[in-house]
Structure 1
Amino acid sequence: MKILAQLDTSDESIILIDNSNSVSKNLINKISLTLNSNPNKVILINPNLSQSEILSKLDFDIKNLSQLSKLEILNKEFEINDLLNLGRDLVKKIIDRVFIISSNFEESKIIEIYQNCLINRIPINTYNSSKYSTFTLLSTYNNGDLQIGITTNLHGCKMSSRLKRELIKSIPPNINDIILNVSNLRNLINSNEILNKKEKLKWLSQIIDYYPLNELGKISIDKLNNDLNDLVFKTPNSLNSSINNKKIGKISLVGSGPGSISNLTIGALNSIYEADLILADKLVPQEILNLIPKNVEIFIARKFPGNADNAQDELLKIGLEAIEKGLNVVRLKQGDPYIFGRGGEEYLFFQNHGYKVNVLCGLSSPFVATINAGIPTTHRGVADQIMICTGVGRLGKIPENLPLFESKRTVIFLMSIKRIVDILPILINEKQWPSNLPVAIVERASCGDERVIRTRLGNLADVCNKIESRPPGLIVTGWACDVYTKLNDNEEFRIIETGVSLDDNVDLEKIVTLLK
């Protein structure tokens, strides 16, 4: 596997070697690419083209036209000594980087240039020849400070371009604003000496992981105290005034499933389309939020470390005020409302205020994740029980009732990955769980970037530390994890990218038409 890296070519002296008789698109692209990278100078060597011929074709997107002054055009044949004489004084006149632009050179000449570049440790890229290149250019997408590069490692440049187009479609149009805003937030936190920086950066990390991507550009810091309320989301100042008030509002607790549109129930989709206000969990994925009509108000729960109870109270207050104004409120929850979703508490809250609560079930992540990971939660002779646990109790503490080991039970832990270092000693030392028990971490269940990590219980904490998490995730434990797929004896862990198709076959327009 090759290393993908971003090259900093600022202040470099770069040679473009060409012998074409006409100004090619490839030549123009390379001039544009290298000049826009803020080099010391770009030297184009071509014996057949005059400076005026080349400059007349330069109607490209150089960001700063002053960069043109860094372009030097030499109307001559390339000589090997050019590699050693045209560079910067800092590197004893040796050129920093070479591009062979044309495919018209004889192979013997290309080999000579390539070998001399190797001897002098000069990176070289040869047009249409990986054999004589020490670096290759990727199919790229640029938007402000965002750069994305894709390669199929020479197994089809057309496929790279196609994959790039597919990725670009999923990127919010305000992505550069998002990147700049998050960067500014981080700088604000770091520049304030009074703040508890560690906690604030932890909260910011949570926001980046969970908050809808196209909303990250709207986050601001209103004031910097010692409370998470420092992080204030720019939500609408008031509910949509164009909605006619009704005498009696409605409240629905709606499960949205684990993430995939195909796992969203018809009832949930109908509720989303009929809502005036949607109060959504931070875990509800972007694909689901994108289904919400633009005229519907959205508020995302601010449930981050240390603020869960306050955020829950805030959500209930907003919902109650909206119902009292006669609005149709949907409390959109990831998974199922009644499986570690505080749905029961919310039901009682609104019921105690005199409102009938409509509850719509959702597919819960423990059941979807195990299916997608190839784990039969029950299997004759292996597992005849299922248990769903949480790794976070009241006030963020480890639950006191972690289960004793039962060999024929599949136990699924939610909200536990970041607490596994504290949970494991209790399971192994106090609850008699075997360290060789197979386990699987399932992240982003049913989403396009779903991932499964298989390991053993005793290695679980180390594996979690080695691999950057992809939240949200859950942990499946039990011998059922080994029914279809087993680790080799010498295998510490295995990562399986199981990303699910982004619902290409789901015809939402047809479904919505049927609902109407």
Structure 2
Amino acid sequence: MASHISMLTATDARSHIHLVIGSNPLAAARCGQSLGAGALPILLAPETAELHYALQKRVDDGEVKWIKEVFRDEHVFTLGREDVGHVVDAVFVTSGPREPLSAHISTLCRRNRIPVNVVDAPQLCTFSLLSTHVDGPLQIGITTNGRGCKLASRIRREVAASLPPNLGAACLRLGEVRRRIQEEDHLLHMALADGDDVDDSIDQSASFNKLVTEADLDAAKNRRMRWLSQICEYWPLKRLAAITDDDVSSILKSYEDMGPAESIGNSTSNSNPIDRGRIILAGSGPGHPDLLTRTTHKAIQTADLVLADKLVPAGVLDLIPRRTPVHIARKFPGNADAAQNELQEMAIAAVREGKTVLRLKQGDPYIYGRGGEEVAYFRQHGLGDKVVVLPGVTSALSAPLFAAIPPTQRDVADQVLICTGTGKKGKPPAPPEFVASRTVVFLMALHRVEGLVGELTTSLDTEIPKPEEGSREEQPQPRRKLWPLTTPCAVVERASCPDQRVIRTTLAHVVEAVEQEGSRPPGLLVVGRACEFLNEREKGRAWSVEDGFRGLDWGDGLG
């Protein structure tokens, strides 16, 4: 039987009126759920009905209004709020699908577009209730779309048990950051509109006498919002859950003057610092913490300070002891170089204090990780003898493996080319030419995949030579062999992480696929015939999507 998925929404039910039909324990539960969401439940049951004790208590306490009548059609049109014409906002039928009245109520509600839920009858429902974990403002809902409420409850308990404590409180604090950014932005725009001077207590730098424009304010707001987004995206959940009011203040302050980033957790150094500092430049691998080298894992456990790139996987950051200060790079478009310099300067300062600094990078430091630049920088500052570089498993080679793509499959591909999709300062790099037996892996490419596909499949103006004088050639040929649009390719995102995703398609459809499916960074693009060797495309489908990664679960029980 074909399955379906629901469009999950979060409904603001405050002051809504929910009609609950029945007198059994489920009716009591539905009334409790309505009250918990701020709605006003109305119980509809005959006067002769024997109410469940929990339901009777809610009625006696005045929480639930009991209409002591048998259901009539007009009830759904007369018991609701005045501002919506007295139509109820939702109907809950608790008597089950075998009761003939259940089907009648479902038909009535569907005809009038009133949300209806009938217990144990997905075919009669227009909405279902999720098995929900609640922690303050944080709600996590699980549904199996009618395949089993007990199973949904089990999955919900497993998900909730895996979460760090106090995550709901962290949502409150981070929500406060967002609110304050928006509030300060509003005040600044009002001041600018009125022609007044900006209050010196609000987001003022040392250069406050310069002309401030709307564009300046928008840039400042967007800069801080991007930083907040990156905190939510890249910090491990355990560290997010431990966020404090002081951390919130430091997040806001960090963009008042672009000063040094504040760390999360204990800011004190290790109680036993080494006499002579050093810098360990290490790769964290593609995502799964089990793919770290043993040397890098040891460095994580013993470093006095960790300076991490923003894409270092959360599972790896979770291994850092809570006592160790951690700084995560504030990299976003337009600030990459400044963030890089900031971390390098922090590393130098810590080394001179005799600390062991772990400079933690995604993948391998020397594969598009700017590792060589950092080593050169430390050498220029007289610290070359204090730098140790540790390799990491690069996603350029491991991500295809986790996506079941053999880049050098015999008789299909005899070479692998690793390229960047974005050159220095964001400029497009020179595209590689088409070679039928080549597999190309593009890193840092998905944010400009449309431009990259265009560069691979069409000739560039700079590639078309001008005909020499007297030449009979009217249509000069491009110097580079172009990639056919039919070339198989795959987008591999968050390789080896639980939320790994693989989109399999061709160059003709990859742009549309990425636009429709959305982005799940970090990711890369694999191009070449090897993409289809173990994954034959289904005819008639432009692309397919595979979610999840369980490739290392078998090792969980190994001692």
Identify whether the pair has TM-score above 0.5, normalized to the shorter chain: yes
CA–CA distance in structure 2, aligned partners of residues 89 and 363 of structure 1:
63
Aligned to 1:133: 125
Aligned to 1:89: 82
Relative distance call for 1:207 and 1:96 in structure 2 (3 A) is closer
CA–CA distance in structure 2, aligned partners of residues 234 and 46 of structure 1:
63
**Residue 222 (1) aligns with residue 253 (2):** yes
| Offset, 1:215 | 4.5
SS of the equivalent of 1:251 reads strand
Aligned to 2:513: 463
Identity %: 38
CA–CA distance in structure 2, aligned partners of residues 30 and 238 of structure 1:
45
2:18, 2:41 within 8 Å by CA — same for their partners in 1? yes
Relative distance call for 1:52 and 1:466 in structure 2 (3 A) is closer
**Residue 405 (1) aligns with residue 434 (2):** yes
SS of the equivalent of 2:508 reads helix
Aligned to 1:331: 359
| From 374, 395, 420, the counterpart of 1:390 | 420
| From 102, 110, 114, the counterpart of 2:106 | 114
Aligned to 1:273: 301
Task: Give the letter aligned to residue 469 of structure 1.
Answer: S
Relative distance call for 1:396 and 1:122 in structure 2 (3 A) is closer
Relative distance call for 1:333 and 1:420 in structure 2 (3 A) is same
Relative distance call for 1:136 and 1:55 in structure 2 (3 A) is closer
SS of the equivalent of 1:423 reads helix
1:252, 1:330 within 8 Å by CA — same for their partners in 2? yes
- TM-score normalized by the length of structure 1: 0.85
| From 437, 447, 452, the counterpart of 1:423 | 452
2:303, 2:358 within 8 Å by CA — same for their partners in 1? yes
Aligned to 1:250: 278
Task: Give the letter aligned to residue 247 of structure 1.
Answer: D
Relative distance call for 1:473 and 1:29 in structure 2 (3 A) is same
| Offset, 1:386 | 0.8
Aligned to 1:514: none
| Offset, 1:137 | 1.1
SS of the equivalent of 2:509 reads helix
Aligned to 1:195: 218
| Offset, 1:383 | 0.8
CA–CA distance in structure 1, aligned partners of residues 428 and 8 of structure 2:
40
SS of the equivalent of 1:282 reads coil
Relative distance call for 1:505 and 1:159 in structure 2 (3 A) is farther
Q: What number of residue pairs does the alignment pair up?
A: 493
| From 303, 309, 315, the counterpart of 2:343 | 315
Aligned to 1:14: 18
Stretch moving more, 482-491 or 69-78: 69-78
| From 493, 498, 502, the counterpart of 1:443 | 493
Structure 2: where are the runs of 5+ without partners?
A: 190-216, 460-479
CA–CA distance in structure 2, aligned partners of residues 221 and 311 of structure 1:
17
Aligned to 1:62: none
CA distances 1:417-468 after superposition (whole Å, capped 9, x unpaired): 1122222222222341222111110000000000011121132223222221
Task: Give the letter aligned to residue 458 of structure 2.
Answer: N
Structure 1: where are the runs of 5+ without partners?
A: 60-67, 511-516
CA–CA distance in structure 2, aligned partners of residues 342 and 115 of structure 1:
63
| Offset, 1:35 | 1.7
1:447, 1:501 within 8 Å by CA — same for their partners in 2? no
| From 210, 220, 224, the counterpart of 2:234 | 210
Relative distance call for 1:9 and 1:489 in structure 2 (3 A) is same
Stretch moving more, 470-479 or 317-326: 317-326
CA–CA distance in structure 2, aligned partners of residues 373 and 501 of structure 1:
10
| Offset, 1:136 | 1.7
SS of the equivalent of 1:476 reads strand
Relative distance call for 1:130 and 1:492 in structure 2 (3 A) is closer
Task: Give the letter aligned to residue 82 of structure 1.
Answer: H
Relative distance call for 1:394 and 1:114 in structure 2 (3 A) is closer
Bigger RCO (CA 8 Å, 6+ sep): 1
| Offset, 1:210 | 3.2
CA–CA distance in structure 2, aligned partners of residues 247 and 134 of structure 1:
68
Aligned to 1:64: none
SS of the equivalent of 1:221 reads helix
Instruction: Give RMSD over aligned pairs.
Output: 3.1
1:279, 1:329 within 8 Å by CA — same for their partners in 2? yes
Aligned to 1:259: 287
Relative distance call for 1:507 and 1:295 in structure 2 (3 A) is farther
Relative distance call for 1:92 and 1:371 in structure 2 (3 A) is same
SS of the equivalent of 1:505 reads helix
2:274, 2:354 within 8 Å by CA — same for their partners in 1? yes
CA–CA distance in structure 2, aligned partners of residues 476 and 171 of structure 1:
33
2:58, 2:64 within 8 Å by CA — same for their partners in 1? no
Relative distance call for 1:464 and 1:111 in structure 2 (3 A) is closer
CA–CA distance in structure 1, aligned partners of residues 132 and 41 of structure 2:
23
| Offset, 1:344 | 1.7
